[in-house]
Amino acid sequence: MRPRCGLLQWRWVRRLPALAAALLLGCGGATTQAPAPSSITVGTALAADQSVTRTLNAMPRTLDPSLLTDEPGQTVMDDLFEGLTTIGPDDNIVPGVARSWDMSADGKTWLFHLRPEARWSNGDPVTAADFVYAWRREVDPKTGSEYAQALAPIVNAEAIATGHAPVDSLGVTALDAHTLRVALVSPTPYLLAVLADNYLLPLHRATIERYGDSWTRPAHMVSNGPYVLSELIVGDRITLTRNPLYWGAANVRVTRVTYYPLDPDEQVSRFMAGDVEMTSYFPGPQFRWLKSQLGNQVVTGPYLGIQMLGFNMIDPPFAHNRNLRLALNMAVDRNILADKIYQGLNRPAYSIVPPLPGYTPQTPAWASWSDDQRHAEARRLYAAAGYSAAHPLHVQLDYPTDDEHRDLMAALAAMWRTNLGADVEPYNEEFRVLTQNLQLHKSSLFWNSWIGDFPDPFTFVQLAQKDDGQNYGRFDDPRYEALLVAAGNEADNAQRYRYFEQAEDLLNQEAPFLPLVYYTTRHLIKPYLKGWHSNLQDRLPTRYLYVLEHQGR
Amino acid sequence: MLRFLLNRLLTAIPTLLIIATLAFALLHATPGGPFDSAKRIPPAIQASIEAKYHLNEPLWRQYVRYLSDLAHGDLGPSFQYRDTSVNALIRQGLPVDATIGVCALLVALLFGGAGGILAALRRNTAGDYVPMFFAALGISLPTFVIGPLLILVFAVRLHWLPSGDWVAGSISHLILPVIALALPYTAYIARMVRGATIEVMTSPFIRTARAKGLPRRTVILRHALRPILTPLVSFLGPAFAGVLTGSIIIESVFGLPGIGRYFVTGAINRDYTLVVGITVLYGALIIVFNLLADLCYAWLDPRVRLQS
């Protein structure tokens, strides 16, 4: 679970290529003929050269799976390592190192049967002990993993992470070289999805013990995935080559993948120059222009993430003032935001859980009202909250410095001024400063965003859980806690989702958040690069890609 | 001479100490720490991370520890790249910046110097106006406009050159960043050299040389060139230090693994050691190159005496 951030905000630099591009490429006027960059002809046979170039939004802060926390790192991990389960070609969870598994009747004990042919890149077999070692290392406070709590479903993981139990008491046991037993605190229907994540990957103990912190260097790293690390230049590129010892190597077609960490604007120019074939992002304000230049090389899809605002539920003016929170919610025209600010890229959001298979989103009734009806109700609630033209709401809206955010905040302030007469002042802060202020609960009204770690409503509804670190607004409602506890103890996933639906409905009524838009995945992909599927988690492992014969770039 | 050198090097120590102290204090005073994550980390783990980087110690002790490591040439571990040291990052970034920077300054010296002298000799003619027009343009167009423009023309449109990346030894990867970095320097040097040339060419010793009947080429190369170069030297000292520690914008636009980019991401991510380390390095380079500039000065102009 991570907030969406981290793209380097070097504002002048980021804006300029767009401007220069508009100058150069757009100077022929709006009716310019097909632009040069997309003159590519694609054949049907596989290309002789199966190497691929991709981008990352930033340099991963580390390539140690236990320590990494960022999205770029996760992308690289999907190529380098393989967990018990792994991401399939179309975002489904498929068997990875585990060939099969059994779950006990109460859903609390799982047995994983590892495939004997799984190998490390140095030839050693991948055994159950490698998972035990890696998971213990993850929760051991000495390791300093910021993600240790992700293992919380496993027996004793929390006690170990907080220093209250010995590391070897973790509920994971190697019954023999190829059988792993995992004991859970409560039924965890999303376990199989979590097992594909980077903090539950196996690790090669001998390598880590031999090289210490430097085990992640290309010369030292031993991994068990479809690729091995062959080059790493901080700030420039990460190169991976196919791992011939990977058990499924016969099905891996791309022989070499190079990742370039770049700012969004530079990703676009590299793509248009033909120097990278798949980007991980592009700047939102360029969406329509890119679409006109590149056509269906611009690939977007639903993403498991939401952008929203949060209210401080403890301090005035929003504490004990549901009417005011709802009034602000209803006065926002999300269609305008989605269309004008995001150029149709992001979709309007009225509740915090993005659309998920099997889950019925709890959209509030007013979401389908006409603008006039909604604004009228917003004004009524605003007045009922004790505000008027003579006595308007004055509040500061804190957000992280970024061009896209700035436009969004200005639009919000304008909507509240027009529709309610409220005086909301956007105030930008550097991301780290904002985060610190949020953790200290200094802010009344603040920007917030969230990307789910696995496709389950839990990763969103937990944001309003009393003890969650992201509950910046300090929403605290016993009814809500009870629903989440009930869901946690429920082994039947359908029933569990019903609890989450009730919880989300409660959030709509109490309005501790102001949902704005659901995020969209943004890629530029060359027409000859195939094998990818847009998916909710935006994970496009290289192992499924292949390159078709082509001319031009 | 030796005394002069010793003296300058000794005074460099307190200067660097002040730079390190200021950078250290400013960075630690900035809100938000390197390991403040949006997620709440259990205290035991937070404590373990802080202990690893000595962030749990009182600030004065961290400062003393930093200075003592610095004295041994160890700039500490990078906070943002958790498996890398600052020394390793600088070792990796410095050659990239040095290659691009030195090439750019050489290009700038060659074209700016020649352009400036030629313009001065053809003063108030088209041969003066045209190069000076481009010099004015070069000074006023920032690199963050020129860089993306070069990419658009030569990489996106024409596909002649790569749009970025760093491949050691590859000249084609060097061309665009070197041009983008060299342009403002070329323009600046051209204007400076033109001014100096005009001044020198009207001075009495040149008139004397001419009166002796020396050919124009000899007058310029033998007599005028050295005084023309004198003001350049004082400009080039800090300029060298500047290009060695990287151009943030060039590196960003071309995606190069240079120190400037590390510095910016370091500042954003509160990578204390990396930012202080690069600041100290920059300070040290400024001192060294200023010293070299002073030595060159004395060599170029016999009237200058090195005094301690």
Q: What is the mean pLDDT of chain A?
A: 90
Residue B306: the pLDDT is: 65
Contact B253 A24 (CB under 8 A): no
Burial degree of A316 (CB within 10 A; 0-12, 13-18, 19+): exposed
Q: How confident is the model at residue A526 (pLDDT cuts 50, 70, 90)?
A: very high
Residue B39: the pLDDT is: 66
Q: Which residues contact B106 (CB under 8 A, 6 or more apart)?
A: none
* Closest chain B residue to the Cα of A271, Cα to Cα: B156
Q: Name chain A contacts of B81, Cβ cutoff 8 Å.
A: 59, 61-62, 234
Q: How far apart are CA A512 and CA A322, in angstroms?
A: 8
> CA separation (Å) from B98 to A285, A420, A514, B189?
36, 58, 50, 19
In three-state secondary structure terms, A238 is: strand
Q: Is the pLDDT of residue A36 over 50?
A: no
Q: Is the peptide bond before A317 cis (omega within 30 degrees of 0)?
A: yes
Residue A116: the pLDDT is: 96
In three-state secondary structure terms, A282 is: coil
* Rg value, chain A, Cα: 25
Taking the Cβ of residue A221 and every Cβ of chain B, the question of whether any pair is shorter than 8 Å is answered with no
pTM of the model: 0.89
- Asked whether A202 and A126 are in contact (CB, 8 A), the reply is yes
Contact A234 B35 (CB under 8 A): no
Q: How far apart are CA A391 and CA A278, in angstroms?
A: 53
Q: Is the pLDDT of residue B255 over 50?
A: yes
Using one digit for the tens of pLDDT, what is the confidence trace for A139-162? 999 998 888 888 889 999 999 988
Q: Which of A77, A84, A95 is nearest to A228 (CA)?
A: A77
Q: How far apart are CA B78 and CA A439, in angstroms?
A: 25
| Strand-strand pairing, A394-400 and A445-451 | parallel
In three-state secondary structure terms, A74 is: helix
SS3 per-residue string spanning chain B: CHHHHHHHHHHHHHHHHHHHHHHHHHHHHCCCCCCCCCCCCCHHHHHHHHHHCCCCCCHHHHHHHHHHHHHCCCCCECCCCCCCEHHHHHHHHHHHHHHHHHHHHHHHHHHHHHHHHHHHHCCCCHHHHHHHHHHHHHHHCCHHHHHHHHHHHHHHHCCCCCCCCCCCCCCHHHHHHHHHHHHHHHHHHHHHHHHHHHHHHCCHHHHHHHHCCCCHHHHHHHHHHHHHHHHHHHHHHHHHHHHHCCCHHHHHHHCCCCHHHHHHHHHHCCCHHHHHHHHHHHHHHHHHHHHHHHHHHHHHCCCCCCCC
Burial degree of A28 (CB within 10 A; 0-12, 13-18, 19+): exposed
* Closest chain A residue to the Cα of B80, Cα to Cα: A61
Count other C-beta atoms under 10 Å from residue B97's C-beta: 25
Residue B9: the pLDDT is: 85
Q: Which residues contact A192 (CB under 8 A, 6 or more apart)?
A: A85, A93, A101
Residue A259: the pLDDT is: 97
Contact B40 A468 (CB under 8 A): yes
Q: Which of B230, B295, B238 is nearest to B8 (CA)?
A: B295
Residue A2: the pLDDT is: 45
- Asked whether A46 and A549 are in contact (CB, 8 A), the reply is yes
Contact A273 B156 (CB under 8 A): yes
Nearest CB among A13, A20, A141 relative to B252 is that of A13
Q: Is the pLDDT of residue B275 over 60?
A: yes
Q: Distance from B87 to chain A by nearest Cα, in Å? A: 13
Residue A13: the pLDDT is: 38
Q: How far apart are CA B14 and CA A498, in angstroms?
A: 68
Which residue, among B30, B35, B36, B39, would best test binding to A if mutated, counting the most A CBs under 10 Å from its CB? B39
A160 sits in which H/E element: helix A157-161
Q: Which two tokens stand for residue B225?
A: 């060139």
Q: Distance from B29 to chain A by nearest Cα, in Å? A: 12
Q: Which of residues 89-148 of A touch B (CB under 8 A)?
A: 141-148
- In terms of average pLDDT, the best of A395-404, A497-506, B166-175, B247-256 is A497-506
Residue A30, Cα to own-chain centre: how many angstroms? 36
Q: How far apart are CA A210 and CA A216, in angstroms?
A: 12
Average pLDDT over residues A205-219: 94
Residue A426, Cα to own-chain centre: how many angstroms? 26
Q: Name chain B contacts of A11, Cβ cutoff 8 Å.
A: none
Average pLDDT over residues B143-164: 91
* Closest chain B residue to the Cα of A259, Cα to Cα: B165
Taking the Cβ of residue A231 and every Cβ of chain B, the question of whether any pair is shorter than 8 Å is answered with no
Q: How far apart are CA A77 and CA A72, in angstroms?
A: 9
Partners of residue A546 on adjacent β-strands: A530
Using one digit for the tens of pLDDT, what is the confidence trace for A50-96? 999 999 999 998 999 998 888 899 999 999 999 999 998 877 899 99
Contact A234 B164 (CB under 8 A): no
Helices (H), A283-442: 287-294, 322-330, 334-336, 371-384, 403-419, 431-439
Q: Is the pLDDT of residue A35 over 80?
A: no
Query: How many contacts (CB atoms, under 8 Å) link A and B?
Result: 194
Q: How far apart are CA B145 and CA B173, in angstroms?
A: 19
> CA separation (Å) from A519 to A308, A354, A502, B91?
11, 9, 23, 39
Q: Which residues contact A29 (CB under 8 A, 6 or more apart)?
A: none
* Closest chain A residue to the Cα of B164, Cα to Cα: A270
Using one digit for the tens of pLDDT, what is the confidence trace for B15-34? 999 999 999 999 888 887 78
Contact B80 A61 (CB under 8 A): yes
Q: Which of B294, B265, B223 is nearest to B5 (CA)?
A: B294
Residue A22: the pLDDT is: 45
Count other C-beta atoms under 10 Å from residue A349's C-beta: 26
Taking the Cβ of residue A340 and every Cβ of chain B, the question of whether any pair is shorter than 8 Å is answered with no
- Asked whether B121 and B169 are in contact (CB, 8 A), the reply is no
Using one digit for the tens of pLDDT, what is the confidence trace for A89-132? 877 899 999 999 999 998 899 999 999 999 999 999 999 999 99
Length of chain A (residues) = 553
- Asked whether A77 and A65 are in contact (CB, 8 A), the reply is yes
A551 sits in which H/E element: strand A546-551
Partners of residue A521 on adjacent β-strands: A301
- Asked whether A551 and A40 are in contact (CB, 8 A), the reply is yes
Q: How far apart are CA A253 and CA A531, in angstroms?
A: 10
Q: Name chain B contacts of A273, Cβ cutoff 8 Å.
A: 151, 155-156, 159, 162-163
- Asked whether A226 and A254 are in contact (CB, 8 A), the reply is no
- Asked whether A499 and A491 are in contact (CB, 8 A), the reply is no
